[in-house]
Amino acid sequence: MNRQAQAAVLFLLGAGLLHAGFTDLYLRYVKAGLRPMLLASGVVLIAAAVATVWYEWRATRAQPDADNHAEDHADAHARSGADAHARSGVDAHARSGADAHARSGADAHARSDADAHARSGADAHAQSGAEDHDPAHTHHEPRVSWLLVLPLLALILVAPPALGSYSALRAGTALQQPYGYGHLPAEGPLRLSLVDYAGRAVYDHGRSLEGRQIKVTGFVALDHSGAPYLVRMALNCCAADAQPVKIGLTGRIPPVLQPDAWLEVTGTYTARRTKDPVNHGPIPYFQVTAAKPVPTPHDPYDETWNN
């Protein structure tokens, strides 16, 4: 990949991060707190792309009125690309004190890799600016750099959705004992987060929930026997370590449930419980009286665990 292509990838990567950061897209993958860093790094990547293009452009413009040495090289390139390559190659390598630069196999590669890396610390080619920027002598970054195109395409073209029922059923419920229970309003229907309801139901034995009307939001997951769960994924750091918290649904469940559909269920606490077949974690049940579909929330994950 040469410098123009690298600049393009850097620019697109930066633009992708900015796009994700300025919309709610980033909330599908990371926590809300990462947003400032995400935007800043997007700006830096774009700046790096612009700087790369600018220094390339300046180097090509400076080429004609460079000193004799550079003219020599430019001349040689004009005459025969292959010949000049050999010359400047030997030149640079000889100066670096390294003989036999194409010994074979791993060593030769290691050398060329080190050459490429040397740019970050110490670069033989950099000893002559003109030579370094000679377009025919451009460093090619290793092929692994091409892989950077993949997250770019995934983010901009596909924008994969937040983790849903597939991941939720593969992993066991991650319900943990809460450190404490917040005070609940004494009147009216309770609007609880799914994790809060599950924590109170299992570890507080529903003491604060008895006899109250409760509203909980989450997405639907159906296990292999078709039993419905309402799930919210909880994040530690990013979607890569998201873990589900599940509650079982019982009572007046809607006849047709679509996996991954978001629901707001209204109902009451029930003491019924089951064990998650994956990790034997506790899953409380919820007695449904009504359910209505809701749009995917602004932040699809539960981040209350560790903020």
| Binding span for another protein by CB under 8 A among 66-74, 110-118, 198-206, 265-273 | 110-118
Residue placing its CB nearer to another protein in the complex, 167 or 213: 167
Would you count residue 44 as binding another protein (CB under 8 A)? yes
Contacts (CB under 8 A) with another protein, residues 150-189:
150-151, 153-155, 157-158, 160-167, 170-171
Encoded one letter per residue, x for contact with another protein by CB under 8 A and - for no contact, window 203-232 reads ------------------------------
Least distance from C-beta 7 to another protein, angstroms? 8
With beta carbons less than 8 A apart as the criterion, state whether 35 and 59 touch: no
- x/- letters, 73..92, toward another protein (CB under 8 A): --------xx--xx--x---
Q: Which of 94, 107, 184, 258 binds another protein (CB under 8 A)?
A: 107
* Residue nearer to another protein on the CB measure, 8 or 261: 8
User: Footprint of another protein on residues 277-306 (CB under 8 A)?
Assistant: 278, 305-306
For another protein, which stretch binds (CB under 8 A), given 8-16, 60-68, 183-191, 284-292?
8-16
> How many residues of this chain bind another protein (CB under 8 A)?
105
The nearest distance, CB 286 to another protein, in angstroms, is: 25
CA-CA distance, 241 to 222, in Å (whole number)?
22
Say how many C-beta atoms besides its own lie within 10 A of residue 155's C-beta: 20
